[in-house]
Structure 1
Amino acid sequence: MDSKKQDDIAHFALLFILLKNRKKSKKRKQWCKKWLQRRNQSSDINLLRELREEPLDFLNYLRITETVYQKLLSLDSPLIIKRDTVMRKAISPHERLTATLRFLATGRSYECLKFSTRISPQSLGKIIPETSNALYKVLRKYIQFPNSEEKWKEIASSFEERWHFPHCIGAEDEEKNGIISSCACPTIGWLNQE
């Protein structure tokens, strides 16, 4: 046999092997799990409505006061709002911000957060980075970052010297950042004592 025929046979054999071993894509059994579709019935949002009556519990849950939350929501909403489609209702800015703040406050995985937010882990994987970027955009005028490596190192060394916490460049606190003055509650600083 000549080399062209051998090449053709090898190509067909390779194509046959690839087609035979190709994994068949699984068809979805359902578009979205039924319990995730009932997000408006029971989720973090309903709990937040109840926690408004207990300011310390609200603070403990999201690590910010309701006043700061409302301010963040008003600043952030234009950047994270999505439109409803024919297929489904959009996840509201309120739900997006709550999921993001809960993620930042707890460090829980997306898989774990889906149970309290009733938002799929795939959606949370898009929502949390988008909302975090939007928060950075609206809050960057309130936070000043060092512009050189020496200043970063100076901050880290003074933080380690004062707080005995190495490799840290500082901490942020709602009382000092100037976004909104702190709540008048006398026990508002209890989280800082942890």
Structure 2
Amino acid sequence: MPLLKEMAGREPQDLRNYLRMSETSFQELLQLISGKIKKQNTIMRESVSSEERLVATLQFLATGRSYENLKFSCAMSPQLLGKIIPETCAAIYDALHE
């Protein structure tokens, strides 16, 4: 995701404030759930990456913003966010519930 790469080149605190976790924690969580949330590209369009799915979910959980409001910072439709966020939350729960 270009935004994360751009933020990583700046102050480490910026990325931490955006994700509400360190980059290391984000990468560890992504590694744990990536296999469960990764989707396959089709001939019609490219799928939303696991990283983008996790970022959108973390933003939703951290801010409580509506899907309608979140669409601007995530560049995804509210309908897509409505599918991605519950799937990703379930994957996070499955990975961390123990």
Same fold (TM over 0.5): yes
How big is the shift at 1:51? Answer: 1.7
Letter in 1 for 2:93: Y
Distance in 2, Cα, partners of 1:106 & 1:47: 18
Amino acid at match of 1:51: M
| 2:5 corresponds to 1:49 | yes
1:93 matches 2:50: yes
| RCO higher in structure (CA 8 A, sep ≥6) | 2
Q: Deviations over 1:44-73 (max 9, x none)?
A: x32211221321111111100000000000
- The correspondence for 1:59, drawn from 16, 20, 23, is 16
Q: 1:137: which partner in 2?
A: 94
CA RMSD of aligned residues (A): 0.9
Q: Within 5 Å, which residues of 2 pair with 1:1-194? A: 45-53=1-9, 54-141=11-98
Alpha-carbon separation, structure 2, partners of 1:84 and 1:72: 22
- The structure number with the bigger radius of gyration is 1
Q: Percent identity?
A: 58
CA distance in 2, matches of 1:114, 1:78: 24
User: Unpaired segments of 5 or more residues in structure 1?
Assistant: 1-44, 142-194
CA drift of 1:87 comes to 1.2
Q: TM-score, with normalisation over the residues of structure 2?
A: 0.94
Aligned residue pairs, count? 97
CA–CA distance in structure 1, aligned partners of residues 17 and 59 of structure 2:
10
Q: 1:116: how far off?
A: 1.1
- Letter of the aligned partner of 1:98 in structure 2? V
- Residue 101 of structure 1 and its aligned partner are, at CA, apart by 0.3
1:141-191 deviation line (CA, Å, top 9, x unaligned): 2xxxxxxxxxxxxxxxxxxxxxxxxxxxxxxxxxxxxxxxxxxxxxxxxxx
1:8 corresponds to: none
Give the Cα–Cα distance (whole angstroms) in 2 for the partners of residues 65 and 50 of structure 1: 15
Question: How much has 1:129 moved relative to structure 2?
Answer: 0.3
Name structure 2 gaps, 5 residues minimum. none
